[in-house]
Structure formats: C-alpha cells, structure tokens
Amino acid sequence: MKYNEISHFSHPQHKLKFEYSEIPFNCDGCKEVGIGSRYKCATCDFDLHMHCAIPTPSIFHPFYTKCSFQFLSRPPGDSPRFCNACEKDITGFVYHCKSCGFDLHPCCAKLPMVLDDGEVKLYLYRKVSSSCHRCGRQGRSWSYRSKCKEYNLHVACVKEMLVETWHEFLGSHGNKSNSNRKLEMTRIPSLKNTLQNHHRRSKGKVKKCCEMAGLAVQFVISAVLGDPTTLIAGVIGNFMSRA
C-alpha cells in the first residue's frame, strides 16, 4: 500500500512525502542503501525505504517455515547482529525472530522469490551449490539463480559491488558539480571481467554469457535496493552499458 504522505515514529517532527528517485540514498531506518520509491522529509534530508516506512508488523518467510519475524526499530540486545540473507551488519530497522534468533534487513526480508521481466527469470535460493559470478565462491548468502542455472549472484556480493563503487566515486569526484555527482552515482560496476575469467569459452559464448549475466545483475540490484521494478533495472542498465 502506498500513501502520498505519512507520519512516522522515527521522524515525528515532520511528515514524510512519497517520491521516486533514480539517485541512490541511504535509508535512515535500516541504514542500508536504496533507490527508487521512498518516503522523504525534504526539510531534514531524511529518507526511508518503502519497506521501512510502511512495515508489516510481523511476517513469515518461506526459507524459515518455523519462524515468525517481528519488525523492530533497532536490533535486540547489545551484541552485534547480522542479516541472515546478506550477512551484513544489522544497525537499524530489522525483522527479528525471537525464538530462533534470525534477523533480516527489511529489504532482504521482502526480496521477491522470483524476478521476471519476460526475458530473464531469476529465482531466490537460500543456498546454492554453484559458484557466484561475482566472487567465484559457493555458499555464503542467499542467491539469485537463473532458470537455466547458468547465472548465480550472491545477495551479499551485489551489496558489496554497490558499496565499493559508490565509495570510490565519493572519494575521487569531490570537485564535480552536484548534478554530475548525482548522475555518476548511478553507475553500477560491470561483471564483464569477472565473467570472462569465470568462463573459459570462445569469444562469442563469453560475450553472450556477459550480456545475460548483465541483465541478471540489473534485476538483482533493483531488488536489493528495495524497488524491484523493470523501470529501475532499465535505468541501472543504461549506466552499466557506459561503464
């Protein structure tokens, strides 16, 4: 459900307005990166993912059939906690199962089980035996895998790609105008070199593999950032092609 304007317990001094952004933002609820649909306070530069702004009080997840996850504004206890989906630290809003101790970032908890744009279909798995196109390793975090089982991407690796790219950008483009900075912040790292090392095949097959995996990573990035729409994927894909 979407509202044009809401009041939120985490920012009681102002109302938050719904907007759509092609520029990445940091969610002030879960402390994770986002893009696309969000609720924003223009006065305070305060942003929330859709999933953080209008959370479901409790959820069930098909990967954890015996768990009931409750939405919390902060991780329970004093010990460091990590997300069971992406293995990244939990520092803000979280879905927590009290009986099992599992934790999920709000956007990770709401990752679609299937991403399908009519051409590329990717399925979310808790564990896969094949290696990731990004890191070359097996296991690790949840993964999106293609129907043909040729393309596999860890959710954790996608997050690392985003963080690395934007940190590099912020560290090396300090003198550019705000408009250029915002434009280039949407650049997503290419998997081309990784894939060419991963697949020892003829040039034609390598090129085709890179193209298909490039499409796959667009949709996974969109989902991880909290707005799994083909429109966002198209925007990201446009910048990927320039990388």
pLDDT of residue 83: 95
Lowest average pLDDT, out of 71-85, 198-212, 225-239, goes to: 198-212
Give the DSSP H/E element, type plus range, for residue 220. helix 203-224
Give the pTM. Answer: 0.75
pLDDT of residue 212: 54
Asked if 5-53 and 58-109 have one fold, the answer is yes
Closest CA to 52 of 67, 74, 81: 74
pLDDT of residue 175: 47
Pick the CATH number of 58-109 from 3.30.60, 1.10.3470, 3.30.70, 3.40.50: 3.30.60
pLDDT above 70 covers a percentage of the chain that reads 65
pLDDT of residue 224: 72
**Pairwise CA distance, residues 100 & 92, whole Å:** 19
User: If DSSP codes are grouped into helix, strand and coil, which group holds residue 222?
Assistant: helix
List the 114-116 sheet strands across, edge first. 114-116, 121-125, 143-146, 152-154
> Does position 166 have pLDDT exceeding 70, yes or no?
no
The more confidently predicted of residues 182 and 95 is: 95
The more confidently predicted of residues 144 and 182 is: 144
**Pairwise CA distance, residues 152 & 52, whole Å:** 28
> Does position 133 have pLDDT exceeding 50, yes or no?
yes
pLDDT of residue 238: 44
User: If DSSP codes are grouped into helix, strand and coil, which group holds residue 182?
Assistant: helix
**Pairwise CA distance, residues 26 & 24, whole Å:** 7
**Pairwise CA distance, residues 220 & 115, whole Å:** 8
* Domain over 5-53 is classified CATH 2.60.40: no
> Does position 211 have pLDDT exceeding 90, yes or no?
no
In terms of phi and psi (left: phi > 0; alpha: psi -120 to 50; beta: otherwise), the region of 139 is left
Q: Domain ranges in the chain?
A: 5-53, 58-109, 114-240
Contact yes or no for 68/97 (Cβ under 8 A): yes
pLDDT band at residue 141 under the 50/70/90 scheme: confident
